Chain A
Amino acid sequence: MSERPSAMVPRIVRVLLVLFFAAQIVLASVRSRPHAHAEELAPPPALPVLRCFAAGDPIPFAQAMTLYLQAFDNQPGISIPFAQLDYDTVQAWLTRILELDPRTQYPLLMASQLYAQVPDEGKQRQMLEFVYRQFLVDPERRWPWLAHAAIMAKHRLHNLPLALRYANALAQHATAPSIPHWVSQMRIFLHEDMGEYQVARVLLGGLLDSKAVQDPHEIRFLMDRLEQLKSAEKSSSPSGN
């Protein structure tokens, strides 16, 4: 379709167009700039509602929820520290994601390596306890996160009884052949750190007697540690024998 020249447009239309366009720019320039304000994380919807939205395929929906939660600290124009998030709500989101997709590991990684790194001991402990409870649901798949939690409890929280509790859970529940031996050995060295040499010696002796460890280098290492434990036990006993 051919177009007629611009001169065919009435002058009043051209003038009004320029005037209103200028008025729009003036109006926009006097308009206040948008202000960034942090929004609170809302509780997740109930599981039946989420299943309904997932439309029979919960895995991609759970992944999308994970992305939403992980990116929630970055809102337009503002960044919220993890420590300012409501951890009860965060935990509810992580739980929902795991309920939707029980095989996913990422919520536990987020709990143990993102949300548990804040400089707030209460929130750190809350995340570690969350990992502990979720580990008990599926120990053979979720043991790495509780092992990380035990290390965090020892080195970050300096809470050896808590670390021992997690290590004991690992030794009792993470018993599949595919799980490395060091996982069940953690509690032995935690007993040693707590000065409970006799318990550590008994556990280590039991482990060696069980023939569960087959690698010669590992056996030699554990034998050396057993000797060290024996000498430490002797030097710490009241009789000095």
Chain B
Amino acid sequence: MAWWTASLAFELILVAALALFCVITFVQIMPAISFVVAFYLLARGISAVRLLAASPLLSPAEWTNRTVAWLVDGLAWLLPDLGRFTPTSWLVDQSPDFAAVGSLALQSLIYGAVLVCAGLYDLYRKSL
């Protein structure tokens, strides 16, 4: 329960940092909300998208499919893998080990810092 709560907190920190970055960067609120929602959904599903892109059903030997798989892998490097955060199984089945929670904390720290720095970058460029 404690680890699950900690994981939820890490996830919320990331989403809050993302929302802060979008509020600073986008002039209007609707594009900011849309970006946050789209980013969250993509970051949540990026593992499944990677599996689909590398699926043996798509003839992985063809260069077009290999290119798509590389592009998706490249995109995954730019996103936090939110699919690993806050799984319900930690709540009802088994507790995670410390390494799993530690990797989530590290991910939150690094990606949160990226978003804060990006937000600061945009903030300094604004003529207030």
Chain A interfacial positions (CB closer than 8 Å to B):
1-6, 8-10, 13-14, 16-17, 20-21, 23-25, 27-29, 31, 33-34, 36, 74, 76-79
- Residues of chain A contacted by B117 (CB below 8 angstroms): 13, 16-17, 20
- Given A76-B48, A77-B55: A20 touches B124 (CB 8 Å cut-off): no
SS of B interface (majority): helix
Residue B52 interfacial (CB < 8 Å): yes
Contact across chains for A3 and B125 when beta carbons are under 8 A apart: yes
On whether the beta carbons of A77 and B125 are closer than 8 Å, the reply is no
Distance A16 CA – B48 CA, assembled complex (angstroms): 31
Q: Taking the complex as formed, is B127 at the interface, i.e. its CB lies under 8 A from any CB of chain A?
A: yes
When distances are taken between beta carbons in the complex, the residues of chain B under 8 Å from A24 are 77-78, 80, 110-111, 114
Residues in A neighbouring B49, C-beta threshold 8 A: 76
Greatest chain B CB density within 10 A among A1, A6, A34, A74 is at: A34
Cα–Cα, bound, A13→B118 (Å): 8
Q: How far is the CB of B60 from chain A (nearest CB, A)?
A: 11
**When A17-B117, A76-B51 are in contact, do A4 and B110 touch as well, CB less than 8 Å?**
no
The answer to whether B77 touches A1, judged by C-beta atoms less than 8 angstroms apart, is no
**What residues on B are CB-neighbors of A77 within 8 Å?**
50-52, 54-56
**Quick check: B121 and A4 within 8 Å, CB to CB?**
no
Contact B124 A27 (CB under 8 A): no
Contact B114 A8 (CB under 8 A): no
Q: Within 8 Å of chain A (Cβ to Cβ): is B30?
A: no
Identify the B interface with A (CB < 8 A). Answer: 27, 47-52, 54-57, 76-81, 83, 103, 106-107, 110-111, 113-114, 117-118, 120-121, 124-127
* Residues in B neighbouring A16, C-beta threshold 8 A: 113, 117
Interface contact B56-A29, CB-CB below 8 Å: no
| Cα distance, A67 to B65, chains bound together (Å) | 25
Contact partner of B77 (CB less than 8 A), chosen from A9, A28, A36, A78, is: A28
Q: Number of contacts between A and B (CB, 8 Å)?
A: 82
Q: List 13 A-B contacts (CB under 8 A).
A: A3-B127, A4-B124, A5-B125, A9-B124, A13-B124, A16-B113, A17-B117, A17-B121, A20-B110, A24-B78, A24-B111, A25-B77, A76-B48
Chain A residues contacting B79 (CB-CB under 8 Å) are: 28
Contacts of B77 in A (CB 8 A): 24-25, 28-29
CA–CA, A17 to B120, complex, Å? 9
Once the chains are docked, how many angstroms separate the CA of A10 from the CA of B121?
Answer: 8
Minimum Cβ distance to chain B for residue A28 (Å): 4
How far does the alpha carbon of A17 sit from the alpha carbon of B83 in the complex, in Å? 24
List of A residues within 8 angstroms of B51 by Cβ: 34, 36, 76-78
Which listed residue, B80, B81, B106, B121, touches A14 by the CB 8 Å rule?
Answer: B121
Docked Cα-Cα span, A76 to B72, in Å, equals 14
